[in-house]
Amino acid sequence: MDFPMEVRYVKADEKVKADLNKAALQRGPIVYCFEWPDNNNVEVRHLMLNENAAATTQYDAQLLNGLTLVKTAAHTQEITADNKVVDKQATVTAIPYYAWANRGAGDMTVWVADKPGGFVPLKPATVASKSKVSGSHRTKTLKSINDQLEPANSHDASVPYYHWWPMKDTTQWVQYDFEKAATVSGVEVYWYDDSPWGGCRVPASWKVLYKDAQAQWKEVKAKTAYPAEKDKFNTLDFDAVQTSALRLEVRLPKEHASGIMEWKVKE
């Protein structure tokens, strides 16, 4: 028996704000998704579909015991060797939604931008985005603090974040090891705070440390007091230092944990 299963673009109800200016692919009753291993490791938030582009199917017997893939054209971006963002067209691949999360940790989405309003532009690399991230609490979400996604507020669930919950009344840290030594003069930190009902608040206090020429940690000479406010980037300028690494040392509140949504570094 032959049941034709045409690939079609579907839209969410306009009341679903998270899916505005986005579309999903569906083949017959099967919903598809875009996962990082199939798209040259491009983060799926930087794709924009063209609903006028033809979508084709291809069976891959070797992938996850056999899957029918959907391929179509999409607008995407890449960073050149001189750190410029350029637009390009690419063929992208979607797999059935039921088959995702079988090939390691990475980005996945069902709803992909099909209009500029849903597209997340790629940004040039920075000293922070190119850094290796580590922390006192090791989780996969550590990479979210330098993913260059800026939250709308301190409890914006649409972007990933890193937190130390359920720890409280302790000193914790996160660290950037730079790709190469750099001269830096400030940081901007967006704290995670899910008050009033959640368990995270802005920190009780924090400090910035740098690694000196003898590989010892020293506190920077701050030009202002350390700010700790929610729903904004907390900016701290300090006397410029040349270093290969920076560390945020964070004192958690007595009754709550804390977290970080994004951490920028000023050169």
Give the range of the structural domain holding residue 144, as residue numbers without chain letter: 132-266
Burial of 225 (0-12, 13-18, 19+ CB in 10 A): exposed
Q: pLDDT tens-digit profile of 210-243?
A: 999 999 999 999 999 999 999 999 999 999 999 9
pLDDT at position 136 is: 97
Q: Which of 28, 23, 22 is nearest to 10 (CA)?
A: 23
3-state class of 144 per DSSP?
A: helix
Question: Alpha-carbon distance 203 to 193, whole Å?
Answer: 9
Q: Are 74 and 106 found together in one domain? A: yes
* Number of structural domains the chain divides into: 2
3-state class of 32 per DSSP?
A: strand
Question: Alpha-carbon distance 34 to 64, whole Å?
Answer: 15
Q: Are 151 and 108 found together in one domain? A: no
Q: pLDDT tens-digit profile of 80-103?
A: 999 999 998 989 999 999 999 999
pLDDT at position 155 is: 96
Q: pLDDT tens-digit profile of 103-149?
A: 987 889 999 999 999 998 999 999 999 999 999 999 989 999 999 99
Work out the angle at residue 45's Cα, subtended by the Cα atoms of residues 42 and 48, and round it to the nearest 5 degrees.
90
Q: Are 213 and 148 found together in one domain? A: yes
pLDDT at position 41 is: 62
Q: Are 96 and 154 found together in one domain? A: no
Q: Residue 40: is its pLDDT beyond 80? A: no
DSSP 165: T
Percent of the chain's residues with pLDDT above 70: 100
The structure tokens listed for 48 are 């924009």
Q: Residue 71: is its pLDDT beyond 90? A: yes
Asked, for residue 18, whether it belongs to a domain, the answer is: yes
Contact 208, 267 (CB under 8 A): no
Q: Are 235 and 168 found together in one domain? A: yes
Of 105 and 53, which is predicted with more confidence? 53
What phi and psi, each to the nearest 5 degrees, are found at residue 215? 65, 30
Cα-Cα-Cα-Cα torsion 211, 212, 216, 218, nearest 10 degrees, comes to: -70
Q: Residue 258: is its pLDDT beyond 70? A: yes
Domain boundary among 118, 147, 171: 118
Q: What is the arithmetic mean of pLDDT over 239-249?
A: 98
Q: What is the arithmetic mean of pLDDT over 48-65?
A: 93
Question: Alpha-carbon distance 178 to 245, whole Å?
Answer: 6
Q: Are 139 and 102 found together in one domain? A: no
| Residue keyed to tokens 């290969």 | 244
Supply the mean pLDDT for the chain. Answer: 94
Q: Are 189 and 211 found together in one domain? A: yes
Residue 107 CB neighbours (<10 A) = 17
Q: Residue 58: is its pLDDT beyond 70? A: yes
Domain boundary among 70, 90, 118: 118
pLDDT at position 48 is: 95
Domain boundary among 89, 118, 147: 118
Q: What is the arithmetic mean of pLDDT over 69-75?
A: 94
